[in-house]
Homo-oligomer: A and B are copies of this chain.
Amino acid sequence: MIPAILERYRGAIEGRLSRALDGDGPLRSILRYHVGLEDEDGTPTHVTGKLLRPSLVLFVAEQLGAGLDAALPSAVGLELIHGFSLIHDDIQDRDRTRRGRPAVWTIVGVEQAINAGDLMHALAIATALESSSAAAGRLVEATREMIEGQCRDLEFEHRGITADEYLSMIDRKTGGLLRCAFDLGGLAAGVNGRVRSSLTALGQAVGRAFQIQDDLLGIWGRDDVLGKATGSDIRRRKKTLPVVLLFERVGADDRAKLEEIYGARDGAEVAEESVAWVIGRMDELGVRGACEAMVQRYVDDATGRLRQIPFSDDARSQMEELIAFLARREK
């Protein structure tokens, strides 16, 4: 069951997204493909993504008394920033697949994919400016945080990291835009002070729960649901939370083997028997359970923060439904 919050605004978001990406030229067309408004051959289709961030902006704005029209451009600007970051991330990570379809750079090449991301970034700000200068400013701030998080994530490929460093990175890379979603909703409604900081803290908790669940799916996700193979984050040496925890928990011998697997710089994928070994060690050392417990902790934290926001009972239970969905999702 898709939560009501993710259903209610789809039409409005998709319509405004389509307007933002309208226009001639190969870059516009590849951007429409990227967000799912077009097939690879240009046939119109529907957005397949969850549209989580813009839906959050609109829900928070609406529940706190703002008009949807005022918040919609900033919501769509946020989704466009998210989309731009995915185009550039896929280049950086050499990910060939995005939401079960070929990644932009595999179609137009790395050079034009850099341009496509840059254009989407510019269109995002142009769109958000239609809400307000303050909304555009808040979005740019979140963009900066996200990029600095992505920078750290790439650095982490080359050294050992602690769980605290990992959380600090995802607070920027993932949390930056999720906090921004709640903030933009509050901004549209003109809330300040304590409510505003509760919204930010809620976004932070949701961001952590969301990202750690994502990390779980990158290792134990079912490939038929996710469109990528189980263990895929291990195969590509991504240092997500389960790997960080595994490094913390293994003994000296296993650590040497792990360092050999994660230290390889030949660009080749990790061999299948090593992938199986890593997953085996994780299972034996309770890594999966530890990650699941952390997801639950941040869900609880989010639920607590939610009580500090003047939502109606109905709105609060819709938000709880959404948080539970994000923490249990299978893709």
Pair A27/B148 contact, Cβ less than 8 Å: yes
A158 → chain B closest CB, angstroms: 10
Question: Which residue of chain B has its CB nearest to the CB of A115?
Answer: B151
* Total number of A residues with any Cβ neighbor in B under 8 Å: 33
Pair B129/A143 contact, Cβ less than 8 Å: no
A173 → chain B closest CB, angstroms: 11
Q: Does A39 contact B (CB under 8 A)?
A: no
Pair A123/B151 contact, Cβ less than 8 Å: no
Q: Using Cβ atoms and an 8 Å threshold, which residues of chain B touch A271?
A: none
Q: Using Cβ atoms and an 8 Å threshold, which residues of chain B touch A150?
A: 115
Q: Does A82 contact B (CB under 8 A)?
A: no
Question: Which residue of chain B has its CB nearest to the CB of A111?
Answer: B92
**Chain multiplicity (copies):** 2
State which of A134-142, A234-242, A272-280, A300-308 sits at the interface with chain B: A134-142
Q: Does A126 contact B (CB under 8 A)?
A: yes
Pair B114/A25 contact, Cβ less than 8 Å: no
Question: Which residue of chain B has its CB nearest to the CB of A124?
Answer: B140
Which A residues between 170 and 187 are near B, CB-CB below 8 angstroms?
A: none
Per the bound structure, the CA–CA distance linking A119 and B172 in Å amounts to 13
Pair B122/A129 contact, Cβ less than 8 Å: no
Interface residue from B88, B129, B141 paired with A126 (Cβ < 8 Å): B141
Q: Does A52 contact B (CB under 8 A)?
A: no
| A-B contact sample (4 more), CB < 8 A, given A27-B151, A121-B122, A125-B140 | A26-B155, A115-B147, A118-B147, A122-B147
> Would you give 11 A-B contacts (Cβ < 8 Å), ordered by A?
A88-B115, A88-B118, A111-B154, A115-B151, A119-B148, A121-B122, A123-B144, A126-B144, A129-B140, A133-B133, A136-B136
Binding site for B on A (CB under 8 A): 25-27, 88, 91-92, 111-112, 114-115, 117-119, 121-123, 125-126, 129, 132-133, 136-137, 140-141, 143-144, 147-148, 150-151, 154-155
